[in-house]
Each structure stands twice: as C-alpha cells, then as structure tokens.
Amino acid sequence: MDPQASLTAFMGLGGEKITPEQNIYGAITERAPLHIWDNPINGMYIVPTNKDLAATEREIMQDMTVDNRMRLKLVLDDVLD
C-alpha cells in the first residue's frame, strides 16, 4: 500500500488525477470495484492510489460492518477467482 501515492507517481500514473473509482481507496471503502491499470508497467499490473488512501484507516474504522483486517483480502479475492 502506498498512502502518499509516491509509487503511483513514480510509475507515471499521476496520483492526483486518479479518481476513487480507479484506485485502491475506492475498492477498500467499497465505493468502486478494484481497478487494475490496463497496461502493465515494467511487467507489473498496478493498482494505483492517491492521497485519499492516507485517510482510509480513520474512515474504515468507523464502519463496523466489515472486519477491517479483511478488507484488502476481500477486494483481492475477487481478482484471484
């Protein structure tokens, strides 16, 4: 996870322009399905992020409907199936 979006920016994806529907924040907060960047970069498929991810922990801690330790696993399970 890259809460400051440094890796996203380094890979040339422009973290500030990435919408919640295109990044891991949207998936973890259940606002959007997981979006994997269409074109691999250096052989890697990237799930970009932006600075919204930094606030995710505080936000999801208020939502008691899902075990917060399982959020990333639940999002990735859909991809692995």
Assess contact for 49 and 9: CB atoms under 8 A: no
Among 12, 17, 11, residue whose Cα is nearest residue 50: 17
33 assigned to some structural domain: yes
Q: Answer whether residue 1 is part of any domain.
A: no
Residue 52 lies in a domain: yes
Q: Is 28 within a domain?
A: yes
- Which residue's entry shows tokens 């992020």? 49
Domain count, the chain: 1
The whole-number pLDDT of residue 15 equals 53
Per-residue pLDDT of the chain (81 residues), as tens digits, is: 777 888 888 888 875 577 777 888 888 888 888 888 888 888 988 888 887 787 787 888 787 777 877 888 888 887 775
Range of the domain at 41: 6-80
Which residue in the block uniquely carries the two structure tokens 């973290």? 15
Is residue 45, in this structure, part of any structural domain at all?
yes
58 is a domain residue: yes
Cβ atoms of 10 and 51 within 8 Å: the answer is no
**What are the Cα distances from residue 36, in Å, to 26, 58, 76, 78?**
12, 24, 11, 12
Beta-ladder partners of 41: 44
Q: pTM of the prediction?
A: 0.72
Q: Is residue 69 part of a domain?
A: yes
